[in-house]
A and B are shown apart, each in its own frame.
Chain A
């Protein structure tokens, strides 16, 4: 895989839509010296307007639906959405709850799914690299 079109670091914005925090601590563990995603050029940013990648966790709670849509609209193109964890993919143990409005792809379009409850940090890095390859194709203008 030749990741050449991106000549700067990949900026990631982390969005928690009501998850149990298990996937979130594994995402933070990816940035710590043991797994160290920063050597690949991945950085967490504090605002969606600077981000290339949206990292979403959690089954979407009803009161977070508006925030999710707004943040997706604020992220500039080209962008990729990664969903981390089983409950964002298809609900997992929460699938018939009355206070949730369904998995993330019912609300915003999703590009990469990382499965697991919680997925290992190595799986999250694999997901980010797949998203990076997809982003390269988007930047070059290829059809995705």
Chain B
């Protein structure tokens, strides 16, 4: 299928999802001597429209490349970003597409994408153990990096009380620094 411009891609999302599309932006930057452009797209969707958005990405590109899923703890919400790239294989054509979804901490669950992209299994297991997001329908939900000795309920990426503070090995005479302390 033919390659769309960034603006046309955003328009196609808005057509497909309607109200499910919450926001979008295009980032551009000139690099090096010849001043070619580096571009990336950010699209934010509602969690109810998430599956439809991923299906739309699969239509824009056959076998889209999912680089990673990143998680941010924003207080009462958790923001997941699915970093896709489309139109790879040709010089200067590739676009980064970041699909953002905000989930409230009271209902942290999201459907799996491993039926569309089998390579997403490791990154979904990681967000389950590190942030506490429940991935509905995941084929293999075991822990990936954290050791079995560490008890359940400790989520290292969180900034609230479920962080791993109790597991830190602090040198004698030091107090561990937290992200919101000064000095």
A binds B: yes
Which residues in window 17-71 of A have CB below 8 A to B? 61-63
Q: How far is the CB of A89 from chain B (nearest CB, A)?
A: 13
With A96-B176, A98-B156 as known contacts, state yes or no: A62 contacts B168, CB within 8 Å. Answer: no
Q: Is the CB of A62 within 8 A of B169?
A: no
Main secondary structure of the interface of A (DSSP, over half): loop
A63, A95, A98, A102: the one contacting B167 at CB < 8 Å is A98
Contact with A along B143-183 (1 / 0, CB 8 A): 00111011000001000000010011111000010000000
Is A129 at the interface (CB under 8 A from chain B)?
Answer: no
Q: Is the CB of A96 within 8 A of B169?
A: yes
- Name the residue on A nearest B150 (C-beta): A62
Q: How far is the CB of B159 from chain A (nearest CB, A)?
A: 14
The count of residues in chain A whose C-beta lies closer than 8 Å to any C-beta of chain B is 11
Tell me the B residues contacting A by CB distance below 8 Å.
145-147, 149-150, 156, 164, 167-171, 176
Chain A residues with CB under 8 Å of B149's CB are 62
Q: Is the CB of A100 within 8 A of B169?
A: yes
Contact with B along A95-108 (1 / 0, CB 8 A): 11111111000000
Q: How far is the CB of B88 from chain A (nearest CB, A)?
A: 29
Chain A residues with CB under 8 Å of B167's CB are 98-99
25 contacts between A and B (CB under 8 A): A61-B147, A62-B147, A62-B149, A62-B150, A63-B147, A95-B169, A95-B171, A96-B168, A96-B169, A96-B170, A96-B171, A96-B176, A97-B168, A97-B169, A98-B156, A98-B164, A98-B167, A98-B168, A99-B145, A99-B146, A99-B147, A99-B150, A99-B167, A100-B169, A102-B169
Chain B residues with CB under 8 Å of A98's CB are 156, 164, 167-168
Contact with B along A104-144 (1 / 0, CB 8 A): 00000000000000000000000000000000000000000
Q: Is the CB of B169 within 8 A of A101?
A: yes
Interchain CA distance A98-B150 in the complex, whole Å: 10
- Name the residue on B nearest A63 (C-beta): B147
Interchain CA distance A98-B176 in the complex, whole Å: 11
Q: How far is the CB of A2 from chain B (nearest CB, A)?
A: 41
Interchain CA distance A57-B156 in the complex, whole Å: 25
Chain A residues with CB under 8 Å of B147's CB are 61-63, 99
Interchain CA distance A13-B89 in the complex, whole Å: 45
Interchain CA distance A62-B148 in the complex, whole Å: 10
Q: How far is the CB of B175 from chain A (nearest CB, A)?
A: 11
Closest 8 CB pairs of A and B: A98-B164, A98-B167, A63-B147, A62-B147, A96-B168, A98-B168, A102-B169, A96-B176
